[in-house]
Amino acid sequence: MESGSRFADLTLTEFEERLASSEPVPGGGSASAIAGSMAASLLAMVSHLSSDRPKYAGFTSTHARALEVAERARRRLLDLADDDSRAYAAFGTARRMPRDTPEEQEARDAATRTAAREATEVPLAVARECSRIIEEVEAMAGRSNLNASSDLEVAARLAAAAARGAAANVMINLPMVGDETFHGSTMIELTKLIEGVDRAAARVSQQVSAGSLRQPEAE
């Protein structure tokens, strides 16, 4: 990734051309973050389409909270797309370090562990954001504009795919961190996140299929 450039400043075509190129970045991690940002954008759209509609006046607080979460998450995920590419580039640099002497090997191993940790923490952050998004999508299903209910399901499916894509990057980088405590805590958190995301996505699909409104959230 070029110094000073941001994926958010590219057109969709420009980003896809970079993604389709032979360059290793952007890759799956950045693509997952972008997909999550799209899910957040859809959630924001449904929030806007539901606000100030008399039929959905009983769900105003849900719409407002979902919009706030969505706007923050979509910006955060665009930043994480950049962070992921930087982290992967740093990892690649570490792996190219010389290792002809014991000292060089030790320096290379240390740099690899540091870079691998960053390359694990960034996609883990993506998975966390996607979990927050899908929680709000679930809260909105049946409490927002029914004409846009399919958009909520798309948001849920995008968020779930993004979370699983991010999880794949966590899993591949985590063993190279070389920290058993970090490995264990990360695996516990990641497993819970993905299980929760999958359950929420299924509930969103069920509610959208019902095609009806439900009770407002408890205050």
- Helix, strand and coil content of the chain, in percent to the nearest 5, comes to 80, 0, 20
Q: What mean pLDDT comes out for the span 178-197?
A: 98
Percent of the chain at pLDDT > 70 equals 98
Q: What mean pLDDT comes out for the span 38-62?
A: 97
Tens of pLDDT along 33-42?
A: 999 999 999 9
Check: CB of residue 183 under 8 Å from CB of residue 115. Answer: no
DSSP secondary structure letters along 112-172: HHHHHHHHHHHHHHHHHHHHHHHHHHHHHTTSS-GGGHHHHHHHHHHHHHHHHHHHHHHHH
Q: Tell me which amino acid residue 146 is.
A: L
Report H helices in 6-59.
Answer: 12-20, 28-50
Give dist(CA 5, CA 85) in Å, integer: 11
- Strand residue runs (E) in 68-114: none
Q: How confident is the model at residue 219 (pLDDT cuts 50, 70, 90)?
A: confident
Sign for the CA dihedral angle at 211, 213, 218, 219 comes to positive
- Position 3 scores a pLDDT of 45
pLDDT higher than threshold 90 for residue 5 = no
Q: Considering only CA atoms, which of 113, 105, 108, 110 is closest in space to residue 95?
A: 108
Give dist(CA 204, CA 150) in Å, integer: 10
Tens of pLDDT along 109-128?
A: 999 999 999 999 999 999 99
- Position 95 scores a pLDDT of 92
Q: Which of the 8 DSSP states describes residue 216?
A: P
Q: Which residue has the tokens 């740093």?
A: 90
Tens of pLDDT along 145-177?
A: 999 999 999 999 999 999 999 999 999 999 999
Taking each continuous run of H as one helix and of E as one strand, the counts in the chain are 6, 0
Q: What mean pLDDT comes out for the span 76-97?
A: 95
In the chain, domain spans: 25-210
Percent of the chain at pLDDT > 90 equals 95
Which two structure tokens, joined as six digits, stand for 64?
């407002």
Q: Which CATH number fits domain 25-210: 3.30.1280.10, 1.25.40.10, 3.30.9.10, 1.20.120.680?
A: 1.20.120.680
Q: How confident is the model at residue 218 (pLDDT cuts 50, 70, 90)?
A: confident
- Position 13 scores a pLDDT of 97
Instruction: State pTM to two decimals.
Output: 0.95
Q: What mean pLDDT comes out for the span 129-143?
A: 98
Q: How far is CA 86 from the centre of its chain?
A: 16
